[in-house]
Chain A
Amino acid sequence: MKINEENKGTVKVIRLSGKVISGPDLMEVKTAFESAVNNDFRRILVDLGSVSWMDSSGLGVLVSGHTTVSRAGGRMVILNATKKIHELFIITKLITVFDTFNDETEALAALEG
């Protein structure tokens, strides 16, 4: 798994790619959320478009990120969840928690709105 971060105005964009699988890499994702909040980002966009595989551990880290950002008064949205990840969101009812977008411009507008 790889993590790529970039800043788009007041939005922290965290792009994940590869296999999001349980292990040390997931701690890096958790740290990325915490670091963003500690650096005063309150708007987080998580791009999952290049994620080829994800299990419940990956979902757990997304939930953890959502909680971290929400507690800081911010908002996190999901971009480009693949069909399979979307299915996992439905199975686990996380579809009721995460705001998901397939267009980055729309996602950024929603965060900045």
Chain B
Amino acid sequence: MLKGIRLTVPSDELMLETVQVFVESVGMAGGVLPEELTSLSIAVMELVRNGMKHGNRLNPAKPLTVTVDVLPGRISFQVEDTGSWQPDRDLGHRPGEGSELLDDRGRGILIARNLAKWVEFDLTPEGKTRATLIWPLT
């Protein structure tokens, strides 16, 4: 089992591709099927981008950390920013409905939840926002 694999990056969108490559590499090493790697990385990256943008306000001085644990039958990704926001409450946006269908933002959590099926948000003991995504290994 691989536990506690961690990547910390500045909250700069220029780092997103680096994180995306990390997610797919760890996913592959952890046993995610090759045909699922893109879906996995899209789902995780939606959480990463939200953390950078809404939690850290794209401030490069504020770090964003992705921690990966490969567990029996599943792989866990935890994304922590330095904010104390609550994504489900603060992004109370329904981009798939009504006039918001044509909004040009706000689809990240919808996509992450549909691709990954299991996405939760909570606060760390220090009060920082943490998103957890569980990907089943088949």
Interface on A for B, CB 8 Å cutoff? 19, 21-24, 53-57, 59-61, 63-64, 66-67, 84, 87-88, 91-94, 96-97
Given A84-B39, A91-B96: 18 more A-B contacts, CB < 8 Å: A19-B17, A22-B49, A23-B13, A53-B38, A53-B41, A53-B42, A54-B42, A55-B46, A55-B108, A55-B111, A56-B49, A56-B105, A56-B107, A56-B108, A57-B49, A67-B102, A91-B115, A94-B101
Q: 1/0 per residue B103-130: CB within 8 Å of A?
A: 1111110110011000000000000000
- Do residues A84 and B38 form an inter-chain contact, with CB atoms below 8 A? yes
A-B contact pairs, 15 of them (CB 8 A): A21-B16, A21-B45, A23-B14, A23-B16, A24-B13, A24-B14, A53-B42, A57-B49, A63-B103, A63-B104, A67-B102, A67-B104, A84-B38, A84-B39, A93-B101
Tell me the nearest residue of chain A to B38, going by C-beta. A84
Q: Does B31 contact A (CB under 8 A)?
A: no
Interface on B for A, CB 8 Å cutoff? 13-14, 16-17, 20, 38-39, 41-42, 45-46, 49, 95-97, 101-108, 110-111, 114-115
- Do residues B41 and A22 form an inter-chain contact, with CB atoms below 8 A? no
- Do residues B102 and A63 form an inter-chain contact, with CB atoms below 8 A? yes
Cα distance A79–B22 in the bound complex, in angstroms: 30
Tell me the nearest residue of chain B to A82, going by C-beta. B38
Dominant SS at the B interface? Answer: helix
Count chain A CB atoms within 10 A of each CB in B38, B45, B104, B105 and give the residue with the most.
Answer: B104
Dominant SS at the A interface? Answer: helix
- CB contacts (< 8 Å) of A23 on chain B: these are 13-14, 16
- CB contacts (< 8 Å) of B115 on chain A: these are 91
- CB contacts (< 8 Å) of B101 on chain A: these are 93-94, 96-97
- Do residues A60 and B105 form an inter-chain contact, with CB atoms below 8 A? yes
Tell me the nearest residue of chain A to B19, going by C-beta. A21
